[in-house]
Amino acid sequence: MAIREIIAYSHEKNLREVRVISDSRSALMALNSLGERRQIINVMKKSVNNDIELCWVRAHQGPFGNELTDELSKEATARDTIDYKFNRYCVELKYDVRRKY
């Protein structure tokens, strides 16, 4: 679901050289599979172009952001409600900084 959202967002904002980093090997493998039957995956595959790079990171290890995400997801599962926040401004700011420098 998150990968689908970032693909849609990158197209909406006409972003170039987008890198999606995920610890979901199965999701990334499905997007690279030639014989995928799930419609949602095939729609996403058609949307991914050369400007979007899909990267896998090992879960529970590695980059600080992955470890932080794991910690926050564990905290979220203990709660009765889930807060959903996606700050598009931060994504655009990071993209602009990388593009300029």
Nearest one of 29, 91, 89 to 54, comparing CA atoms: 29
Q: CATH number of 2-78: 3.30.9.10, 3.40.640.10, 3.40.605.10, 3.30.420.10?
A: 3.30.420.10
Yes or no: say if 95 and 15 are a contact pair by the CB < 8 Å rule. Answer: yes
Domain boundaries, the chain: 2-78
Sign of the CA dihedral with 66 first, then 20, 10, and 16 last: positive
Confidence category of residue 97, pLDDT binned at 50, 70, 90: confident
| CA 88 – CA 101 distance, rounded (Å) | 20
Write out pLDDT tens, residues 25-80.
888 788 777 777 887 777 777 777 667 777 887 765 666 666 777 787 787 778 77
Q: What is the model's pLDDT at position 49?
A: 66
Write out pLDDT tens, residues 13-23.
888 778 888 88
